[in-house]
Amino acid sequence: MRSEKKYLITEVEGHLKKSDYVYLADYDKMTVENVATLRKRLTAEGAEFHVVKNSSLRVAAKGLALPDLEPWLKGQTAVIVGGQNPTGVAKVLRDYFKETKKVAIKGGVFEKNAVDAALIGQLADVPPMKVLQSQLLGLFKMKPQQLVALIKAYADKQEKAGAAA
C-alpha cells in the first residue's frame, strides 16, 4: 500500500476513535460556506465534521472492528465524530438539514452498533441530558411526596373514624 493511502487510513482511524458514535452524512450539495457553518455548530457540541474517502473509511472501519458501513459508502461521505453528547450532535445535524436541505444523514455507528438514518433521527428527538436529569430528579422527588400524601390520607381517615366512634 502506498504511503499516501496509509496516511489517509491512519487519519480516518484517528477520527473514528474520537467517540463511541460515528454519523455518516452525504454532503454533496454543500458549499464551503455551508460546511463552515455546520462545523461551527458542531464545535459547540464538541463534534467534528470531516470529509473522507469511502475507500479509506471502509479500510479504517474494518481495522477498528466497527460494524459494516458498506450500505452508506456511496457518493460523497463525511464523518461526524467527537463530543460527549451524541443526541445533541444528532439535533444539530437534523436542524441544519431542515434549514438548508443540504446535508443528509446516511447512517452510522452508535455504541458499536450500525444504525440507520431513522434511528439517528430518533436520537435527535431525545431531550438534552439536563432535561433528562431534571425529569429523573422530579421522579425521585415525587415518590416521597406521594408516600407522604398517602400517609396523611390514612391518618385523616383514622382521625375521622376515631371521631365518629
Instruction: Give a three-class secondary structure readout of the chain.
Output: CCHHHHHHHHHHHHHHCCCCEEEEEECCCCCHHHHHHHHHHHHHCCCEEEEECHHHHHHHHHHCCCCCCHHHCCCCEEEEECCCCHHHHHHHHHHHHHHHCCCEEEEEEECCEEEEHHHHHHHHCCCCHHHHHHHHHHHHHHHHHHHHHHHHHHHHHHHHHHHHC
Domain boundaries, the chain: 3-126, 128-165
Residue 150 has pLDDT above 80, yes or no: no
Instruction: Give tens-digit pLDDT for 5-59.
Output: 888 889 999 999 988 899 999 988 889 999 999 999 999 999 999 999 999 999 9
Instruction: Give tens-digit pLDDT for 19-29.
Output: 889 999 998 88
**3-126: CATH homologous superfamily?**
Ribosomal protein L10, N-terminal RNA-binding domain (3.30.70.1730)
pLDDT value at position 131? 85
Instruction: Give tens-digit pLDDT for 73-130.
Output: 999 999 999 988 899 999 999 999 899 888 889 999 998 899 999 999 898 888 877 8
Is residue 147 very low, low, confident or very high in pLDDT (cuts 50, 70, 90)? low
pLDDT value at position 12? 93
The model's pTM: 0.76
